[in-house]
Structure 1
Amino acid sequence: MSSSVLAPLVPVVLCIAVGFAIARIGWVRAGAIPDLANIVFLVLTPALLFRTMGQVRVQELDFAPVALYFSAVALLFGGTLALQGWTSAAAARALAHTFSNTVMIGVPFIGLVYGESGLVTLFTLVSLHSLILLTAATLVFELLLAPPGAAAGDGAPHARWRTLGRAVKSSIIHPVPLPILAGLAWGQTGWPVPGVLERVLALLGSAVGPTALLLVGITLAYTRIGEHWRGALRIALVKNLAMPLLVGAVAWALGLSGQAVAVMCTTAAMPVGANVLLFTQRYGTMQDEVSSAIAISTALALLTLPLALLGAQWLTR
């Protein structure tokens, strides 16, 4: 395996390992994980997203790789439901198969491998990632939960539309998409960010990578896989291997290549995102299996991400 593939992976592995070690020796307790996650998601990540997208013009964004990504998502999501049946468990697995950890692992990893231009491509995807996937999953779950033969007058359809509306709103008014949209809006004005604020945003944004990766290691140290490891491993294999292979196959079939496509393939190989667990908790299904799948897919990514990078290098030729 070429050193160009291993080079960006080494600091990722070491940061996760340090996080794992400091948790094991008791320097960081399990109760601190939610607070650390709030720092990453509510402070550091929005600063990086706003600062990066504030330097971009909307007309410069390329949505073709994003469309490629969601084409593969639709195939895998629909294929999971077709193979496993129209059930809440199948819907939860379909979401886990397709929802990537685009922030805690995706941002530092893509930044190391592809630099600022790669982050712009990633953030273009991130601006729609939760909105499309969580809204689609909400629609599926609401249809599954609808009483058979519900009449239009009993209020059930209206309740479902209200639920979908809340899902769309919460996917936009969120600490990830909102600073992306705000940054793009600021970039359209052409105004520079004031000097002091720019330095603060740069300082906070530079802390996303190491802090997020340390948090991944700390979380892994306190996660127990339990009796659901077989189902969780199946989810992890589909997410970490089948998803990037499908993105690559669609790109090959359409004759697409280049760095932006490589970023999409690499992002598709990221482990299962934590939002899937929050979603399963909301609907009361598959929490244990999905929780285990997040841990297994994160650990497995240390092996599968190099393979995804090799495939991504081939697409850039």
Structure 2
Amino acid sequence: MDATVISSLLPVVVLIAAGYLAGKRGWIGGKSVKDLSNLIFMLLAPALLFRSMSTVHVEQLSLRPVAAYFLAAGLIFAAMMLWRGFNRTAAVLALANTYSNTVMIGIALVGLAYGPNGMVVLLTLISLHSLVLLTSATVVLELAVAHEHAALSGVGRQDRSAILRTLGRALRSAIIHPVPLPIIAGLLFAQTGWTLPEAIDTPIRLLGQAFSPVALAMVGVTLALTPVGQHWRGALVQALFKNVVHPLLTAALGWVLGLRGLPLAVMVVAAALPMGANVFLFSQRYQVAEELVTASVVVSTVLALVTLSAVMALVGYL
């Protein structure tokens, strides 16, 4: 098994295990999980996302290599929504099938395996990854919430103006939201050419650095507090979609689009990365499939020890 893959994935497994131990020993109780989720979603994640986007200049982005990644993700997301229906559960699981852990695992892995040239390709993806996938998922989820509320209230067919009002509320909720808003704000800030004063940048950087370890530890805490064993089959299906189907479809579409060599290799490896912790946070925020998503993140990460090694061995032939 590739030592680079193991060295990149092992810290993730250890952090989840540490959270699991904290949950099992009762250091963190079930009532605290919601508060931790709010801390991560409302404070740590916005700091990380804003700072990550605050140095990205639109004219420097090469969008062609990431087209295959997002096209594959879009097809998988749409297929999942068609299969499971238009609801919150389907949207969260579709996000789980397409959202990679590009930051905590991807940066270390690609940097070690493909060097500076590979990092340029990956950072182009990272600069758009959350903006495209999380914002799109948020719009779908907010529309699904509006649809479910309408169904529960007994509202039947809506006229065109009512549908437009619902869409407007959903789009507003999707933008005034702790994930897309800091991404958009950071991207706009970057275009000004300004830099953050150190007194402001330092606390934002420290908050952002806390995101990954705290979020992964919370996955472990939730794992310890919920009966995940009964979800292992569903978790394995979700993990196989993310770890196997996503990179295979990305490779096929990239080949069709004329991509070859390093750009295609990096995109396929990025698609093969396990699920990112943001998927777990979305399931917590929208209160759907929490146990299944928790199990899926863990299974996907552990399975990646094998699937990533295989993908990295095979992309050399592309």
- State the number of aligned residues: 301
Equivalent position to 1:113, from 109, 112, 134: 109
Alignment of 1:167-186 (within 5 A): 167-186=170-189
Post-superposition offset of 1:305 = 2.1
Corresponding residue number in structure 1 for 2:93: 96
8 Å contact from structure 2 (residues 110, 266) kept in 1: no
Corresponding residue number in structure 1 for 2:266: 262
Corresponding residue number in structure 2 for 1:207: 210
Alignment of 1:5-84 (within 5 A): 5-80=5-80, 84=83
- After superposing the two structures, state which structure 1 stretch, 25-34 or 259-268, moved more: 259-268
Q: Distance in 1 between matches of 2:141 and 2:207?
A: 33
Q: Distance in 2 between matches of 1:195 and 1:94?
A: 39
Corresponding residue number in structure 1 for 2:225: 222
Corresponding residue number in structure 1 for 2:126: 122
Post-superposition offset of 1:79 = 3.9
Say what the alpha-carbon RMSD is for the aligned residues: 3.6
Post-superposition offset of 1:13 = 0.7
* Residues 31, 111 of structure 1: alpha-carbon distance in 2 compared, 3 angstrom cutoff: farther
Post-superposition offset of 1:123 = 3.6
* TM-score normalised over the length of structure 1: 0.77
3-state secondary structure, aligned to 2:109: helix
8 Å contact from structure 2 (residues 235, 299) kept in 1: no
* Residues 162, 265 of structure 1: alpha-carbon distance in 2 compared, 3 angstrom cutoff: farther
3-state secondary structure, aligned to 1:207: helix
Superposed CA offset, 1:66-124 (max 9, x none): 43233213332444466x4x8457x9447514445859x55322343346854552241
8 Å contact from structure 1 (residues 229, 292) kept in 2: no
8 Å contact from structure 1 (residues 46, 175) kept in 2: yes
8 Å contact from structure 2 (residues 53, 186) kept in 1: yes
Deviating beyond 6 angstroms after TM superposition, the runs of 4 or more aligned structure 1 residues are 137-147
Superposed CA offset, 1:99-156 (max 9, x none): 45859x5532234334685455224121121332343566689899999xxxxxx743
* Residues 120, 129 of structure 1: alpha-carbon distance in 2 compared, 3 angstrom cutoff: same
Q: Distance in 2 between matches of 1:268 and 1:162?
A: 39
Post-superposition offset of 1:225 = 3.6
8 Å contact from structure 2 (residues 44, 208) kept in 1: yes
Alignment of 1:127-138 (within 5 A): 127-136=131-140
Q: Distance in 2 between matches of 1:314 and 1:123?
A: 26
* Residues 275, 45 of structure 1: alpha-carbon distance in 2 compared, 3 angstrom cutoff: closer
* Residues 62, 305 of structure 1: alpha-carbon distance in 2 compared, 3 angstrom cutoff: farther
Q: Distance in 1 between matches of 2:298 and 2:128?
A: 26
8 Å contact from structure 1 (residues 24, 221) kept in 2: yes
Post-superposition offset of 1:41 = 1.9
For 1:202, give the aligned amino acid: R
Post-superposition offset of 1:302 = 2.5
8 Å contact from structure 1 (residues 97, 239) kept in 2: no
* Residues 32, 132 of structure 1: alpha-carbon distance in 2 compared, 3 angstrom cutoff: same
8 Å contact from structure 1 (residues 237, 297) kept in 2: no
Corresponding residue number in structure 2 for 1:284: none
Q: Distance in 2 between matches of 1:77 and 1:52?
A: 25
Post-superposition offset of 1:214 = 0.9
Corresponding residue number in structure 1 for 2:168: 165
